[in-house]
Amino acid sequence: MGITQYDTKDATSIFAYSKGLLHKSLAEAVKEINPLIDVNEIDFKGKGGLGQLVEKFYYGYEPNSSPLPDFPEAGVELKTTPLKKDAKENYLIKERLVCDMIDFCEIVKYSFEESPFYKKSLLMLIIFYLHVKGKPLRDLEFIYSVLWVLKDKDLVIIKHDYEVIINKIKQGKAHELSEGDTMYLAACRKGQKDDSLREQPFSSVKAPRRAFSLKPAYMRTILDFVKNSNSDMATNTDVDIRCLELVNKEDLKNESFENILTDRILKFKNWDYKQIARYFNMQITSQEKSKYARVVKRILSDKLNNFEDAEEIRKAGIIVKTIRVKSNGHIKESMSFENINYNEFLEVDDWLNSRWYEIITSRFMFVVFKEDETPSSEWKDEKRFVLDTVLFWTMPEKDIQTAEQYWNNIKENVISDTLEDSDNTFWTLADNKFFHVRPKAQNMFQKCLSPVSGKSVPKKAYWFNNKYIETIIGKSSN
DNA sequence: GCATGATCATGC
DNA sequence: GCATGATCATGC
């Protein structure tokens, strides 16, 4: 049995009351409070999410859409958010956390601290539940709850993100907003593409509807926190996961995260990888394929063995890639990303919740090395590239439409079970459409399983075409 | 020359 | 044992 009452003025009490939901469905939890209730009543005739059902039937108040938090006296906003399970039964974040709709014309009038987003989202009671396709909301199981405060350094970064978004609207570019513009807080798309166009204040171009959201990567760190803490009292007011940071809070108040990292990299401008490795006493051989990535990650942090563990990289989901440009200006190799998880295509309900969408709307940090043909005895036959530029990038909205077609093509092949080399209609490099699908494994004997037939099929990955990367680099140097 | 399939060294 | 961040090695 959970606690049967709570104090609407006290965040801790509201949080403690949420524990009565865990490992039960809403129907079960409500039945405990009120055995007489007909659980079929726990439903909405029209639209409305699980969060509103919890508010109405478990906490016992009528949901509102006011700019104040759900529990105004305690300053607590109640959020429910879905999890999914992987093949090993681990809980994973299913989607970003949508916090507050953006009204382009109104939002430009508010500073960060005055904004409805800030007032609502500073202190959130986040309740995680397991999503099951087709199951009624009232029957879904609650897994974890956490009282999450946006504080300290996260708040510095989120405030900067907010200002990036507002400034883009002020420049009349609301229609060009992208989740990849920012680090933790993102302007995510909301609603269907065609019927959701909205006015913006400084341009006559109508823009797709967007909402402030916390990125899936950021949510993943909240989930990790909850999993690793005492589940009876998970709140981040006292503990934090800030042991492995790239940049400290004080520096971020004076300079943006991206500028700080760029400065760090450009100290090594015109250095080759051997020089950088020697400077840091790293053992790197020329046959190691990830040697450029390793020296770059070493420059960014001298404390971390595993760069991907860095706090800001995890929370923002930043993708760091190195690029080598030949002396003729061309890029020889295409760029690979992770292996395609074919199972996802049968489960995902919305392309906006797909892994590929998350990848392409990530913030990218490209570190470019250019070929230097100055003769050198140390290099002999090995081509020498020197560190040249740093570029933060995200995919422009017009290319995202192509990325969606690419994703749909992969989906069609998964559903029709044409994943063998001889059968598939995957995009190839020769199609010249920005992206292609290509093998990626330790060797050809490493296979994965078709989710449709269970057959062994080759492991493939998402790839950017080398020519597409040339257009990215080309635009930045103009 | 370059598209495509195949693979490498590392680290956890 | 496998993901990662890539490049290598064919063959047309």
pLDDT for res A147: 93
- For strand B, is any atom closer than 7 Å to the CB of A421? yes
Lowest mean pLDDT among A223-237, A244-258, A371-385, A437-451: A223-237
User: Quick one: A231 and A363 in the same domain?
Assistant: no
Confidence tier at A67 by pLDDT (50, 70, 90): confident
pLDDT for res A378: 81
- For strand B, is any atom closer than 7 Å to the CB of A291? no
- Give dist(CA A107, CA A103) in Å, integer: 6
Amino acid sitting at position A445? F
- For strand B, is any atom closer than 7 Å to the CB of A305? yes
- Strand B: list positions under 7 Å from protein Cβ: 2-12
Footprint of strand C on the protein (CB under 7 A): A 288-290, 292-293, 296, 308, 320-322, 324, 333-336, 338-339, 440-442, 446, 459, 461
User: Quick one: A126 and A224 in the same domain?
Assistant: yes
**Which phi and psi (to 5°) does residue A211 adopt?**
-135, 150
pLDDT for res A102: 96
pLDDT digit string, tens, across residues A368-397:
999 998 877 788 778 999 999 999 999 998
Q: Which residues, in sequence order, are CB contacts of A24 under 8 Å at separation 6+?
A: A32, A141, A142
The separation, in Å, between residue A203 CA and nucleotide B12 C1' comes to 51
User: Quick one: A227 and A326 in the same domain?
Assistant: no
Q: With 60 as the cut, is the pLDDT of residue A241 above it?
A: no
**Which phi and psi (to 5°) does residue A229 adopt?**
-110, 170
Residue nearest to nucleotide B10 (CA to C1'): A288
- For strand B, is any atom closer than 7 Å to the CB of A281? no
The separation, in Å, between residue A454 CA and nucleotide B6 C1' comes to 24
pLDDT for res A438: 96
Amino acid sitting at position A390? V
Question: SS3 for A425?
Answer: coil
User: Quick one: A324 and A427 in the same domain?
Assistant: yes
- Give dist(CA A415, CA A419) in Å, integer: 9
- For strand B, is any atom closer than 7 Å to the CB of A422? no
pTM: 0.94
Most confident of A86-90, A297-301, A358-362: A358-362
The b-or-e profile of A367-406 (16+ CB within 10 A means b, else e) is bbbbbeeeeeeeeeeeebbbbbbbbbbbbeeebbebbbeb
Confidence tier at A45 by pLDDT (50, 70, 90): low
pLDDT for res A478: 37
- Give dist(CA A295, CA A283) in Å, integer: 10
- For strand B, is any atom closer than 7 Å to the CB of A428? yes
- Give dist(CA A49, CA A57) in Å, integer: 13
- Give dist(CA A207, CA A198) in Å, integer: 5
- For strand B, is any atom closer than 7 Å to the CB of A458? yes
Which of A208, A235, A262 finishes a domain? A235
Domain contains A256: no
User: Quick one: A437 and A325 in the same domain?
Assistant: yes
pLDDT for res A1: 44
Total domains, chain A: 2
Q: With 50 as the cut, is the pLDDT of residue A2 above it?
A: no
**What residues are paired with A84 via a beta bridge?**
A92
**Helices A257-266 and A291-300, axial angle in degrees (round to 10):** 120
Which of A189, A207, A235 finishes a domain? A235
Amino acid sitting at position A53? L
pLDDT for res A477: 47
Lowest mean pLDDT among A182-196, A263-277, A429-443, A460-474: A182-196
CB of A215 closer than 8 Å to CB of A316:
yes
Which of A235, A266, A300 finishes a domain? A235
pLDDT digit string, tens, across residues A173-199:
999 999 999 999 999 998 766 667 899
pLDDT for res A35: 86
A165-179 average pLDDT score: 97
Virtual torsion, Cα A284, A287, A292, A294, nearest 10 deg = -40
CB of A78 closer than 8 Å to CB of A61:
no
- For strand B, is any atom closer than 7 Å to the CB of A430? yes
Q: Which domain holds residue A327?
A: 317-477
Domain contains A150: yes
CATH number of the CATH domain containing A377 = 3.40.600.10
The separation, in Å, between residue A302 CA and nucleotide B4 C1' comes to 38
The separation, in Å, between residue A64 CA and nucleotide C3 C1' comes to 46
Which helix (H) or strand (E) element contains residue A220?
helix A216-228
Closest nucleotide to residue A332 (Cα to C1')?
Answer: B2
Domain contains A261: no
- Give dist(CA A180, CA A96) in Å, integer: 13
Domain contains A285: no
Looking at per-residue pLDDT, the higher value among A349 and A128 belongs to A128
Q: With 80 as the cut, is the pLDDT of residue A234 above it?
A: no
Q: With 60 as the cut, is the pLDDT of residue A292 above it?
A: yes
Confidence tier at A229 by pLDDT (50, 70, 90): confident
- Give dist(CA A131, CA A142) in Å, integer: 9
Domain contains A310: no
- Give dist(CA A295, CA A73) in Å, integer: 51
The residue whose two tokens read 């995957």 is A426
Domain contains A25: yes
- Strand C: list positions under 7 Å from protein Cβ: 2-8
A324-333 average pLDDT score: 94
The separation, in Å, between residue A306 CA and nucleotide B11 C1' comes to 9
User: Quick one: A122 and A26 in the same domain?
Assistant: yes
Structure tokens at A275: 């020089």
pLDDT for res A439: 96
